[in-house]
Amino acid sequence: MAAEKENSVPEVAIESLHGDLMDFQTQGAHGINYHHLYTGTATLSSCPPVLMRIGAVKAITKILDEVNVGYVIFDGTEPNPTDNQVDEGLAKLKENDCDFIISFGGGSPHDCAKAIGILATNGGKIHDYEGVNKTTQAMLPVVSINTTAGTAAELTRFSIITDTSRHVKMAIIDWKITPIIAVDDSVLMIGMPKGLTAATGMDALTHAIEAYVSIISNPVTDASALHAMKLIKNYLRDAVNDGTNLKARDMMSYAEFLAGMAFNSASLGYVHAMAHQLGGLYILPHGVCNAVLLPVVQEFNAKEVPILFIDIAEAFGHHDIRENAELAVERVLRDIRSLSKDVGIPRNLQELGVKPEDFELLAENTMKDACGFTNPRKPTKEEVIELFRLAYEQ
């Protein structure tokens, strides 16, 4: 993914895209391409195209310089951040006596910043905080500036860190690790190449669907999740096909935020519990793992909660379902697969290089992942192995 070409947008193109935004208002976008007429300043007009030219990190440091806030840059976070990277970041923070953290990028830097923030005030190793609400002290303040439309890590109480000795991704879920400020600006997302746009968008869809079928969902999370699904169904293809389409980027930014609001309270399910193991063992992109597992796990869930798929089908634009849950499940699974295919997600785990001889270990670790606790149907370890097999062969 890193080798893909980034979108580069000349200033004049940004200006003309801003012009394109003049006919819509984000708040009125109902995911069906109806928009109230716009009467004020465009949503994104205050975002300087200069960010694209001089490098976004410089744009942040310039502001810090102007207001006389000292800083040190830690650029050691890689995709799927590890316990060792957290330790390196913490060492740098302590050496320089920093009193807050700004994370800039996608889910990986946000999660790493949260983990560093936890250790700065709670002490110990990051492994001590795996699970739910294990910290005792507020973390060091974190400001998260987000550049992908997927994880919502900029606003959630989750931090996902790879344990390099066990090769598993630890889920640290804790109300004390919410960043104090989350910045979502779709102009910062224009540079995402197609593969990253697709993977992160499918991550957001997975958040929305897992939150919706979660056993601890509530009407607020349901509303957020359903609207996120509607936006992703309508705009992810456009964002992938033309990364400079600001309307699609903006809608995907709102979608990932809404999906994040949903799963932050309703939590997730077995797609994430299983995807974390694939990410930890093979260092695969998180959103791609989710996208491949999503239809298989939802087919499994649909046996327990078929009725929930009627609303998901409705959000996907199927208004002829009525009470027919069986038809709803069929349409939802078909739509997930065709969206994945259209945005270029690999078809199965085989294409991702996953090895069937690892299924046993992957399933063993899946059973311990805190994200699985809220899945509507509880699989046995053997059933998880079967789910991995189905995702391998589909």
Q: How far is the CB of 212 from ligand NAD (least distance, A)?
A: 16
| Cβ proximity to Fe ion, 56 vs 345, nearer residue | 345
Q: How far is the CB of 58 from Fe ion (least distance, A)?
A: 29
| Cβ proximity to Fe ion, 47 vs 289, nearer residue | 289
In the three-class reduction of DSSP (H, G, I as helix; E, B as strand; rest coil), residue 213 is classed as helix
Question: At residue 352, what are phi and psi to the nearest 5 degrees?
Answer: -85, 0
Binding to ligand NAD (CB under 6 A): which residues in 2-21? 2, 6
- Per-residue string for binding with Fe ion, 185-214, x by CB under 5 A? ------------------x-----------
Contact with ligand NAD (CB under 6 A): which of 153, 209, 266, 294?
A: 153
- Per-residue string for binding with ligand NAD, 94-133, x by CB under 6 A? -----------xxxx--x----------------------
| Cβ proximity to ligand NAD, 65 vs 75, nearer residue | 75
Q: How far is the CB of 272 from Fe ion (least distance, A)?
A: 6
37: which residues sit within 8 A by CB, 6+ positions away?
Answer: 23, 25
Nearest to 203, CA basis, from 256, 262, 265: 256
Nearest to 140, CA basis, from 88, 99, 87, 182: 99
Hey, what long-range contacts does 355-363 have (CB within 8 A, 24 or more apart)? 356/389, 356/392, 358/281, 359/385, 359/388, 359/389, 359/392, 360/385, 361/277, 361/281, 362/274, 362/277, 362/278, 362/281, 362/388, 363/388
| Cβ proximity to Fe ion, 24 vs 212, nearer residue | 212
State yes or no: residue 159 binds ligand NAD (CB under 6 A): yes
How many residues touch ligand NAD under the rule CB under 6 A: the total is 30
State yes or no: residue 392 binds ligand NAD (CB under 6 A): no
Q: What angle do CA 331, 337, 343 make, to 5 degrees?
A: 130
Binding to ligand NAD (CB under 6 A): which residues in 49-78? none
Structure-derived torsion over alpha carbons of residues 94, 97, 101, 104, reported in degrees to the nearest 10: -80
DSSP-assigned beta bridge partners for residue 173: 132, 158
Contact with ligand NAD (CB under 6 A): which of 176, 194, 233, 286?
A: 286
Dist. CA 166–CA 64, nearest whole Å: 39
Tokens 């994880």 belong to residue: 151
| Cβ proximity to ligand NAD, 21 vs 189, nearer residue | 189
- Which residues here bind ligand NAD, judged by CB under 6 A? 2, 6, 79-80, 105-108, 111, 147-148, 150-153, 156, 158-160, 169, 188-189, 191-192, 196, 200, 203, 279, 286-287
